[in-house]
Homo-oligomer: A and B are copies of this chain.
Amino acid sequence: MRTFLPASRRPLTLSLLFLLSTSTAVCLGQAASSEVPVPAEVRSQAEALQRSALEGTRAYDVVRSLTVEVGPRLAGSPGDKAAVEWGLRTLKELGFSNVRAEKVTVPHWERGEESGAILAPYPQPVVLAALGGSVGTPEGGLEAEVIEVPSLDALSALDPARAQGKIVFISTRMERTKDGSGYGRAVGMRGRGPSAAAKLGAVALLIRSVGTDNYRTPHTGATRYEEGVAKIPAAALSNPDADLLSAQIATGKPVRFRLRLGARYLPDAESANVIGEIPGREKPEEIVLLGCHLDSWDLGTGAVDDAAGCAIMMEAA
């Protein structure tokens, strides 16, 4: 995971960063220690800011604008270019100084067309999405028998003879928890699953979507490949389709599956960090850096991840 930090060293620099990751935001600051009493004037100013934020719609307007007028913005895509333009325009409109784009090079992954189907014992189409960064299947897809394991740990303990030439399906269900720990326990199969399966000779990986919904909406999210291990195609089934595949496997009959992923890497593309500043008045040698990532996955409009982060950052500035 690479992040792109601006070279700027100007006092009180506010940076709107383009980051490759869709889940990492950079936020460095000097917070007031809770042990220092807050002067009445500062408290009054803070309360005024809070009122203004609660009454205003600017943060919402920023999210609306980025999602409605730009939309999906996968690194290297036309949406990415549009997002950089949007960032420059929006920071200028909001009155930031020294607004500029600093070029960066980003990997350029493209989803392409994708589909999946159970071929036997009971033929049915399923809904799936390639994991971000997955390689594609051969054109026309690949067909193989599916074996199911309940977890990444169970996969690691599997006899390679069982996985050889098969599609491995990791069916870990993300638990709904208030503290997000369910995500942490489930997400490992997404990043580490493909190489773990490839080491056992599997030809592709399927996982249950890392998400708690019951809709036929598969989830993407980044996967990665270990150096020196075969890169096999990897996709997430929507939760109902994961249930369907599990139920067919539970009949004890061999389950054949056809997977077609048009995913591929294009040559690295040019993008940019978008930077704006609020020059400091009192302590020009100190810097507060706020960041968000402009890019998003392609299957939605990136409202939470990370248009909301950009809106929060712009409001905080």
A residues with CB within 8 A of B: 64, 67-72, 121-125, 213, 215-217, 240, 244, 247-248, 251, 299-301
Residues of B with C-beta under 8 A to A251: 68-69
Residues of B with C-beta under 8 A to A69: 121-122, 251
Contact, CB under 8 Å: A299 / B122: no
Residues of B with C-beta under 8 A to A64: 247
Q: Which residue on B lies nearest to A244, using beta carbons? A: B68
User: What copy number does this chain have within its complex?
Assistant: 2
Other 18 A-B pairs with CB < 8 A, given A213-B215, A216-B217, A240-B300: A64-B247, A67-B244, A68-B244, A68-B247, A68-B248, A68-B251, A69-B121, A70-B122, A71-B123, A71-B124, A71-B244, A72-B124, A124-B301, A215-B215, A215-B217, A216-B299, A240-B301, A244-B301
Residues of B with C-beta under 8 A to A215: 213, 215, 217
Distance of A115 from chain B, by nearest CB (Å): 11
Q: How would you classify the secondary structure of chain A's contact residues: helix, strand, loop or mixed?
A: loop
Residues of B with C-beta under 8 A to A123: 71
State the CA gap A91–B145 with chains docked (Å).
32
State the CA gap A71–B299 with chains docked (Å).
26
State the CA gap A217–B300 with chains docked (Å).
12
What 3 A-B pairs have minimum CB-CB distances, sorted nearest first?
Answer: A215-B215, A71-B124, A68-B247
Contact, CB under 8 Å: A71 / B217: no
State the CA gap A241–B71 with chains docked (Å).
11
Q: Which residue on B lies nearest to A82, using beta carbons? A: B122
Q: Which residue on B lies nearest to A243, using beta carbons? A: B68
Residues of B with C-beta under 8 A to A301: 124, 240, 244
Residues of B with C-beta under 8 A to A217: 215-217
State the CA gap A123–B301 with chains docked (Å).
12
Residues of B with C-beta under 8 A to A213: 215
Could you list 26 examples of A-B contacts with CB < 8 Å?
Answer: A64-B247, A67-B244, A68-B122, A68-B247, A68-B248, A68-B251, A69-B121, A69-B122, A69-B251, A70-B122, A71-B122, A71-B123, A71-B124, A71-B244, A72-B124, A72-B125, A124-B301, A213-B215, A215-B215, A215-B217, A216-B217, A216-B299, A216-B300, A217-B217, A240-B300, A240-B301
State the CA gap A300–B125 with chains docked (Å).
10
Q: Which residue on B lies nearest to A299, using beta carbons? A: B216
Residues of B with C-beta under 8 A to A121: 69
Distance of A258 from chain B, by nearest CB (Å): 15
State the CA gap A300–B213 with chains docked (Å).
15
Distance of A64 from chain B, by nearest CB (Å): 6
